[in-house]
Amino acid sequence: MRHTEFAPFYRSAIGFDRLFQMLDQSTGFDSESTYPPYNIERTGENAYRISLAVAGFSPEELKIEVKEQTLSVSGEKAAETEGKTFLHRGIAARAFERRFQLADHVDVTGAKFENGLLHVDLVRNVPESKKPRTIAIGSSDAKQLEAKAA
């Protein structure tokens, strides 16, 4: 697949830098690692959970960080091969880093490690000023009557 270059648009589209960066990232998904596998599920109206399969890692070897709307989960396994002879090694113990782009107003509320799965809970907190609101439609008849009486 041919790579699309968005650099010329950066100069003429002030304020849309993030949009073009996201387009750049989405077109480069072929080279992205698929380890560790993960699920994203909706657990409520404004609640979500990311579950990563991190078998073989302990909670101390995992790191979760949120910076500028990007959730980063990384893991690094210490080498434990001393004194061990493997006939077959199929359990991945390689270091990884998985990044997730968070939408506006999405916060990480917690993380839990159980049965080889790392669960990261997210919630969307939309401020009252950003929520849709209903505007009452009034009639202008009362103002016109007051103006005629004066």
| 47-83 per-position pLDDT tens digit | 999 999 998 888 999 999 999 889 999 999 877 667 7
Q: What is the pLDDT of residue 1?
A: 47
Residue 74, helix vs strand vs coil:
strand
Interval 124-148 mean pLDDT: 73
Q: In order of start, what are the domains of the chain with their CATH numbers?
A: 1-32 (no CATH), 33-128 (2.60.40.790)
Tell me the pLDDT band of 135, cut-offs 50, 70 and 90.
Answer: confident
User: Which residues face 66 on adjacent strands?
Assistant: 71
Report the mean per-residue pLDDT for the chain.
78
User: Which residues face 48 on adjacent strands?
Assistant: 42, 122
